[in-house]
């Protein structure tokens, strides 16, 4: 069993290595193709559109064909779409193919995380999940370093990405593993989550909007103003590592204080740094420390929102709540690059940073206002996890009934809020 889990974690780290490199690479490559600001935004956001659709549909696919064949199918889809992008350069073609890549990547993450969730013992799940997410962050960081050595104008980066996905496919498809048992997923009526945890609902959408705009547009802008690719890679690397470094201290704070106040502080910190970056000299020693802090604030918005939502919802709805929050984050990630590209065409990168700062400030005012006007819920007896949107289902998978604390009844919480 440990060998199976190790194989899955290593394979997924390879996928995240390819995915981190692919995200920055396509942002730079699209800027070179001169598609126009609107089409650039559509191409960059199409990945998140495919990712979001897959979050709604991949569960049924995996249930029908199994985890191993599902993993092979999703990896094959990503490899084929990536190879096709190298052969057919065009705005509409890349829009469709990039959406297919997003669909396949989402399917791979869902397959991996549900597989890990089924195979890991409850007593080991937290440790295994932490290793999984640390591997994810480190792989994303290494992917940024590859940008400095990549020849963006050639088809070689596409081939490298296909190779990494193929290696991951071979690793998983040749493992000797029993497929996890199918589980029944509970439903969550629309509106119930929004009534119980409005801050979490808005926060997940805005978190996706901010991170989608940042990772899609900032590399393209840096290349457009003549920044060396090694510098772009280092800037993005520092932002990713800042996100990893912030997870534990922010988690510690959110477990001890009202999560909405922590969320308000994170939004305020992000907004302030985004505005500061606009006015700082654009030299590497000056912008790297703010980049690390910006990545830290940005990457912790989502996990705090998820934790707050689960504080407000009953224990038997954890999987449904996680799925709904993934959907909201995905929708925000679709809209962020599209709006940001339009803003950048008119106001350059300063407008994008002001746009992201405005979104973060809105979340700050909402979270702080709700904190001062409604009673804070008791935190669930569940440790804060290092968390990215694609991992929410694993992080909050239900445990045995004897292990699971009961969360507040949302109806009772709503009555207390009023």
Q: Could you read off the pLDDT of 273-291 as tens digits, one per residue?
A: 999 988 888 777 888 899 9
Query: CA 394 to CA 400: how far, in whole Å?
Result: 14
Q: Work out the pLDDT band at 210, boundaries 50, 70, 90.
A: very high
Q: Quote the number of domains for the chain.
A: 2
Weakest mean pLDDT among 13-27, 238-252, 307-321, 402-416: 402-416
Q: Tell me, what's the pLDDT at 411?
A: 39
Within a 13 Å sphere around the CA of 20, how many CA atoms are in the beta-carbon half?
25
Structure tokens at 246: 């912030």
Give the pLDDT of residue 272. 94
Same domain for 213 and 234? Answer: yes
| Mean per-residue pLDDT, 124-130 | 61
Dist CA 413 CA 375 (whole Å): 8
pLDDT of residue 389: 52
Domain boundary among 159, 179, 199: 179
Residues 120, 210, single domain; the answer is: no
pLDDT at 134 over 80: no
pLDDT range class, residue 399, cuts 50, 70, 90: very low
For residue 75, what is the domain's CATH number? 1.20.1250.20
Same domain flag for 173 and 87:
yes
Confidence class for position 407, pLDDT limits 50, 70, 90: very low
Residue pLDDT, tens place only, 327-364: 888 888 888 888 988 898 888 888 999 999 999 999 99
At 102 the three-state DSSP class reads helix
CA distance 313 to 322: 11
Indicate if 174 and 247 belong to the same structural domain.
no
Burial class (CB in 10 A: 0-12, 13-18, 19+), 298: buried
> Are 164 and 192 in the same domain?
no
Amino acid 355: pLDDT:
94
264 — pLDDT class (breaks 50, 70, 90): very high
Same domain, 272 and 365: yes
Same domain for 175 and 194: no
Name the residue among 194, 185, 207 with its Cα closest to residue 330.
Answer: 207
How far is Cα of residue 98 from the mean position of the Cα atoms in its chain? 16
For 90, 193, 347, the CA distances from 391, given in Å and listed in that order, are: 32, 19, 35
* Residue span of the structural domain in which 352 resides: 188-418
Residue 409's pLDDT is what? Answer: 44
pLDDT band with cut points at 50, 70 and 90 for residue 385: low
Burial code of 348-365, b = ≥16 C-beta within 10 A, e = fewer? ebbbbbbbbbebbbebbe
At residue 327, the pLDDT reads 80
Name which residue leads in pLDDT, 358 or 405. 358
Q: Looking at the structure, do residues 262 and 410 belong to the same domain, yes or no?
A: yes
Last residue of a domain, one of 141, 159, 179: 179
Residue 122 reports pLDDT greater than 70: no
Asked whether the predicted pLDDT for residue 1 surpasses 70, the reply is no
Query: In the predicted model, is pLDDT for residue 384 greater than 70?
Result: no
Residues 350, 202 share a domain: yes
Q: 283 and 220, same structural domain? A: yes
179, 198, 230: which is the final residue of a domain? 179
Query: Does one domain contain both 3 and 149?
Result: yes
pLDDT surpassing 70 at residue 224: yes
Query: Is residue 89 located within the same domain as residue 65?
Result: yes
């Amino acid at each position: 069993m440990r060998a199976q889990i190790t194989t899955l974690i290593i394979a997924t780290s390879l996928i995240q290595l390819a995915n981190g490199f692919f995200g920055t690479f396509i942002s730079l490559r699209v800027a070179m193709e001169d598609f126009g600001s609107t089409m650039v935004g559509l191409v960059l956001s199409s990945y998140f559109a495919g990712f979001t659709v897959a979050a709604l549909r991949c569960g049924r696919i995996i249930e029908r064909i199994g985890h191993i064949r599902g993993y092979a199918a999703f990896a094959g889809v990503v490899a084929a779409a990536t190879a096709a992008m190298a052969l057919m350069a065009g705005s509409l073609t890349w829009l469709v193919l990039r959406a297919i890549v997003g669909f396949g990547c989402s399917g791979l993450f869902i397959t991996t995380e549900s597989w890990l969730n089924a195979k890991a013992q409850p007593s080991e799940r937290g440790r295994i999940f932490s290793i999984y997410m640390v591997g994810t962050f480190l792989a994303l960081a290494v992917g940024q370093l590859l940008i400095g050595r990549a020849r963006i104008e050639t088809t070689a980066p596409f081939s490298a990405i296909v190779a990494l996905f193929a290696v991951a496919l071979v690793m998983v498809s040749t493992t000797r593993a029993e497929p996890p048992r199918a589980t029944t997923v509970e439903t969550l009526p629309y509106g119930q989550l929004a009534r119980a945890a409005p801050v979490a609902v808005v926060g997940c959408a805005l978190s996706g909007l901010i991170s989608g705009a940042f990772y899609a547009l900032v590399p393209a802008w840096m290349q457009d103003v003549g920044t060396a690719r090694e510098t772009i890679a280092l800037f993005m690397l520092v932002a990713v590592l800042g996100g990893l470094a912030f997870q534990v201290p922010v988690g510690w704070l959110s477990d001890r204080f009202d999560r909405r106040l922590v969320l308000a502080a994170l939004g305020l910190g992000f907004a302030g740094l985004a505005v500061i970056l606009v006015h700082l000299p654009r030299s590497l020693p000056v912008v790297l420390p703010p980049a690390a802090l910006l990545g830290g604030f940005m990457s912790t918005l989502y996990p705090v929102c998820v934790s707050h939502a689960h504080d407000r919802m009953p224990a038997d709805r954890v999987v449904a709540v996680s799925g709904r929050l993934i959907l909201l984050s995905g929708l925000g990630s679709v809209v962020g690059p599209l709006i940001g590209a339009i803003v950048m065409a008119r106001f350059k990168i300063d407008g994008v940073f002001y746009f992201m700062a405005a979104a973060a400030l809105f979340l700050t005012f909402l979270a702080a206002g709700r904190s001062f006007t409604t009673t804070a819920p008791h935190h669930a007896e569940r440790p804060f996890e290092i968390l990215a949107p694609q991992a929410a289902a694993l992080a909050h998978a239900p445990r045995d009934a004897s292990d699971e604390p009961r969360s507040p009844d949302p109806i009772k919480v709503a009555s207390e809020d009023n």
